[in-house]
Amino acid sequence: MLDFVQQLVSGIALGCVYGLIALGFVLVYKATEVVNFAQGDLMMLGGFFAFTFIGMLGLNYWLGFAGAVICMALFGMLAERVVVRPILGYPQFSIIMATIGLGYFLRSIVGMIWGTDDFKIETPFSHGVLRIGSLVLAYDKLSVIAATVILCTLLYLFFNRTTLGTAMRASSENMLAAYYMGIPVKRVVSIVWAISAAVATAAGVLLAPITFIHSNVGLVLGLKAFPAAVLGGFGSIPGAVVGGVLIGVIESMAGFYLPQGWKDVAPYLVLLVVLLLKPEGLFGVHTRKKV
């Protein structure tokens, strides 16, 4: 039983990281109907920025964290301006390919600058545990869970309560109509990319105590976060986090209770089954074209 709870908590923590990356996917998708395959790599780059600030320049953790988030928000805007904006509105497939290309590019550039070794960031949560009876919970995991809950709530409120959030949803529904209604679509899209890169960075930094940072971490985790976003129903913010947590828990349970090898495929098997039963994901809305 104790094992089970331990596994559950570490699964949830891992899942929260997936969920945070998935949030980035969902944000960009919600505002522009673009699927950003480089999302994981943005996270990786954010992690490296934080490593540079904290590990190499020796800045305070929180200062370095903030610095990395700001840098990455700017980088997100840059990436949007250069790669996405010229082809905004083109078939999804083209944009997916462009972001895959961006991912390749980022991975190699990071490898060339920082090298291909594993890095670790020291954080205030890296050590220490919370003991409840005989249950031992590490702070690093708890910090990830707490941060996810806070970020998710903020973003949900942002999207559903603020004018900017409404503008984002409007421009994804019909961009031309949004222009006509006076929404500065380009700026909106740019802001969305900034936010999603910032969220990705938060994920990358929070992740640091749990796993090492290396140039392929974004690809590996992105490939888990992507199913998470789909599982939750692409375009749903709570869905992304729930999907992430589900994938994380399934993965950690499968790793503990099932024979070797199941850990990696179990999330995908579950995803396929869910898609078979509910093609639009758990929280997705099923719509059909009007003729």
Partner 1 sequence: MRFLFKTDYEDDIRLFPHSGYVVSYGVLLAILAIAPFVLSSYLVSQLVFVCIYATVGVGLMILTGFTGQASLGHAAFLAIGAYTAAYLQQFNVPFPVYFLAAGLLTGVVGALVGFPALRLQGIYLVIATISFAFIVEEVLARWESVTHGNEGMRVKTIQLLGTTVSRDSPGFYFLCLGFLILTILGTLNLLRSPTGRAFVAIRDSETAARSMGVNVSLYKVKSFAISAAITGFAGVLFAHKLSFISPEMFTLQLSIEFIIVILIGGTFSLHGAVLGAIFLVMIDPFLTYLKDDMPGIIAGIAATFGAGKDTAMRIKDSAAAIASANGLKGAIYGLIIVLFVLFEPLGLYGRWLKIKLFFQLFPLYKRATFKRQKIYVKSERNR
Interface positions with partner 1 (CB under 8 A): 32-33, 35, 83, 86-90, 92-98, 100-109, 111-112, 115-116, 171-176, 179, 215, 223, 226-227, 230, 234-235, 261, 264-265, 268-269, 271-272, 275-276, 279-281, 285, 287-291
Nearer to partner 1, 146 or 223 (CB): 223
Minimum CB separation of residue 220 from partner 1 in Å reads 11
Minimum CB separation of residue 63 from partner 1 in Å reads 30
Nearer to partner 1, 8 or 282 (CB): 282
- Residue 272 token pair: 């396929």
Residue type at 56 in one-letter notation:
M
Minimum CB separation of residue 109 from partner 1 in Å reads 6
Alpha-carbon distance of 103 to 77, in angstroms, equals 15
Minimum CB separation of residue 105 from partner 1 in Å reads 3
Residue linked to tokens 């992740």: 207
271 Rama class: left (phi>0) / alpha (psi -120 to 50) / beta: alpha
Number of residues in the chain: 291
Q: CA 150, 189, 236: angle at the middle one, nearest 5?
A: 45
Distance of CA 124 to CAs 49, 92, 174, 209, 215, Å?
18, 41, 45, 9, 24
Nearer to partner 1, 61 or 262 (CB): 262
Minimum CB separation of residue 139 from partner 1 in Å reads 33
Asked if residues 235 and 30 have their Cβ atoms less than 8 Å apart, the reply is yes
Minimum CB separation of residue 226 from partner 1 in Å reads 6
Alpha-carbon distance of 8 to 230, in angstroms, equals 22
Nearer to partner 1, 139 or 263 (CB): 263
Nearer to partner 1, 66 or 88 (CB): 88
Direct distance between the N- and C-terminal alpha carbons of the chain, in angstroms, rounded to an integer: 55
Minimum CB separation of residue 69 from partner 1 in Å reads 24
Q: What string of DSSP letters covers 123-168?
A: -TTSS-EEEETTEEEEHHHHHHHHHHHHHHHHHHHHHHHSHHHHHH
Alpha-carbon distance of 238 to 152, in angstroms, equals 7
Nearer to partner 1, 5 or 265 (CB): 265
Nearer to partner 1, 38 or 50 (CB): 38
- Residue 169 token pair: 């949803």
What values do phi and psi take at 121, rounded to 5? Answer: -105, 130
